[in-house]
Amino acid sequence: MTAAPLSGPLTGRARADRRPHSLAEWQADGGHAALGLARQQPPAAIVDMVAAAALNGRGGAGFPAAQKWRFMPAPGTIPGDGPSYLIVNGDEMEPGAFKDRLFLEALPHLVIEGAMIAAHAMHASEIIILVRDAYRIGIHAMEQAIAEVDAAGLTGRNLKIRVHASAGRYIVGEETALIEALEGKRAVPRKRPPFPAQSGLWGRPTTVNNVETIANIPGIVANGPDWFRGLSRTAEGGTKLFGVSGRVHKPQLIEAPMGTTARELIDRCGGVSGTGELLAFQPGGGASGFLGPEHLDLPLDFANVADAGSMFGTGTLIVLDTGTCPIGVIARHMRFYARESCGWCTPCREGLPWVAHIVDGLEAGTAKTADLDILHMTAGEAGPRGRSFCDLMGGAMAPLATGLHRFERQFADHAAHGCRA
Amino acid sequence: MSLPEPLTVMITHAIASHGGPRGAILEALRMVQHAEGWVSDERVADIAALTGMTTAEIDNLATFYSHIFRKPVGRHLVMFCDGASCWMNGGDKVAEAVKARLGIGFGETTADGRFTLLNTCCVGGCDHAPAAVTGRNRRLVGPLRADTLDGLLT
């Protein structure tokens, strides 16, 4: 399937038909050169370079990548024998997120090169690239690319790489649940501490990085941290693979500087479709709070979006026009998070289906005004401080809490009349 | 029918490469499903025997992970996105049209065993909304239209 062509230092080499490169093609284009450069340097120098580049993790939380790597213990300080793991998280399943699919399908050698450099930097001896079941084309591309680098001797004697094809469930994307899945258990998040770097997969030091985070590493090593920071318009380094979907004329992936505004991104998608007028947007996938037309010129990065009361998340925008019922959008999100709760913590297991039921009732016209109080209570008390092991419910409450505030009139109208859109 | 020899070899290999029997269970379930389309009670017992686990431990995983099928599915699996971006672009109408055409609902298989419909979110095809993935390769199709359903049921 073809898509709009991409340009930019991160994704510009992706082909329009997304056919991946062979190893020979990739090397002819300068690929895997950064790996050679990285291996000539001590691991700490690579970590310092990534720190200076101000690369924030692209999986959703935006945690500085180098800082995460520094949690990994140095060799010789780890009790017992066994591997240290780098897990590349390709379990992309956030509603509205479709960016990691591109790297896995079209740029597998970029992901592998980044992962091998990162493994060197954090002393990891085994790389596991976990990919969701629905991305089987990406799974095949990654397996093929791994076979090629193995056969060419690029992996080296002390590094193992494999793909783990996941078997469904959104919660697998949560890093400690992902570790449980790899250990052959139900994907139920672990209580932290200990953090994965202290005790991760099979009790060994483990770092979990998002696919896009890893894909940025070769460019940083090849061109230096100053170059990477220079790509951005804000203090957070690099370009970002944005995605825009929902009510725009040409939904697509767009690589653009960190700090690009929603107005620019929506314009590049041919503008708002439907009524042509923006109602609201979610800047970072389903679990990010709604922003409005007043945020169109906000330079999008993790810090600015957090300051505006939302979350940059995956950087994949969901756009609503004024003809779209926001309660309907929230209803789809609530059904999704209710369905995908792993069921371990009571507020999430019991609360989310109840919330989904109420929002469905608002849409159908069977809810009562008093139900809005329950939504407010749940959004307020079971949010980020809900004492759940992970933030699935906290994330799910973000569109609800911000929606209750932003769409107060629509909620009241739905409680009285149901959906009249 | 006992577990075919190639599957036994592959699962034994997975135990070696995935950190032991427990780490290989999901891989074993996936391999069985890839070969046979679903995971029968007999295969749960086979995997239990090969990994030294109980059938309860195997089923504990098989019932948790939504893409492991514990009953037969159609030759063509259609996984339909019911997320917000697809819904905003008419996903509900397409889903209703597919259900009407096949005469089944989500989670069901046509009587001739050709199609199974599942709802899921998100298929990572928001730029092709409304979208679905279909077939063994989970090929992405979209934007779908209710009046044609082009590319979806072929």
CATH number of the domain encompassing residue B126: 3.40.30.10
User: Does A5 score more than 90 pLDDT?
Assistant: no
Say whether residue B135 is in contact with chain A using an 8 A CB cutoff. Answer: no
Q: Do B90 and B121 fall within a single domain?
A: yes
Q: Do B50 and B15 fall within a single domain?
A: yes
Whether the bond between A193 and the residue before it is cis, its omega within 30 degrees of 0, is yes
User: Does A390 score more than 70 pLDDT?
Assistant: yes
Over residues A389-403, the mean pLDDT reads 93
From A200's Cα to the closest Cα of chain B, the distance in A is: 13
pLDDT grade, residue A3 (50/70/90)? low
Q: Do B26 and B54 fall within a single domain?
A: yes
User: Does A234 score more than 90 pLDDT?
Assistant: yes
Task: Specify the residue for token string 């500087």.
Answer: A257
* Residue A368 confidence (pLDDT): 92
Q: Do B93 and B124 fall within a single domain?
A: yes
Domain membership flag for residue B111 = yes
Q: Do B54 and B81 fall within a single domain?
A: no
Task: Kindly list the residues from chain A whose CB atom is less than 8 angstroms away from the CB atom of residue B22.
Answer: 183-185
Q: Do B38 and B84 fall within a single domain?
A: no
Domain membership flag for residue B89 = yes
Q: Do B133 and B80 fall within a single domain?
A: yes
Q: Do B51 and B106 fall within a single domain?
A: no
Q: Do B58 and B113 fall within a single domain?
A: no
Alpha carbon distance B19, B32 (integer Å):
19
- pLDDT of A23-53, one tens digit each? 999 999 999 999 999 999 999 999 999 999 9
* Residue A104 confidence (pLDDT): 98
Q: What are the E-state strand segments in A12-167? A: 85-90, 126-131, 160-165
Q: Do B13 and B58 fall within a single domain?
A: yes
Q: Is B112 left (phi over 0), alpha (psi -120 to 50) or beta?
A: alpha
- pLDDT of B8-65, one tens digit each? 999 999 999 888 999 999 999 999 999 999 999 999 999 999 999 999 999 999 999 9
Q: Flag if A165 and B30 touch (Cβ within 8 Å).
A: yes
Choosing from B36, B64, B92, the residue where a domain stops is: B64
- pLDDT of A237-285, one tens digit each? 999 999 999 999 999 999 999 999 999 999 999 999 999 999 999 999 9
Choosing from B23, B38, B64, the residue where a domain stops is: B64
pLDDT grade, residue A305 (50/70/90)? very high
Give the least confident one: A174-178, A386-390, B13-17, B56-60.
A386-390
pTM of the prediction? 0.96
* Residue A385 confidence (pLDDT): 62
Q: Flag if B122 and A133 touch (Cβ within 8 Å).
A: no
CATH number of the domain enclosing B10: 1.10.10
Domain membership flag for residue B85 = yes
ipTM of the complex: 0.95
Domain total of chain B = 2
Q: Do B132 and B80 fall within a single domain?
A: yes
Domain membership flag for residue B147 = no
Nearest to B127 among A169, A182, A243 (CB): A243
Domain membership flag for residue B24 = yes
* Residue B124 confidence (pLDDT): 95
Instruction: List the strands of the sheet with B115-120, edge to edge.
Output: B108-109, B115-120, B76-81, B132-134, B139-141
Domain membership flag for residue B118 = yes
Q: Which domain holds residue B104?
A: 76-141
Alpha carbon distance B82, B106 (integer Å):
11
> What angle is formed at CA A186 by the lines to CA A397 and CA A63, rounded to 5 degrees?
50
Domain membership flag for residue B150 = no
> What angle is formed at CA A285 by the lines to CA A282 and CA A290, rounded to 5 degrees?
20
Task: Specify the residue for token string 């690589």.
Answer: A255
Domain membership flag for residue B69 = no
* Residue A156 confidence (pLDDT): 85
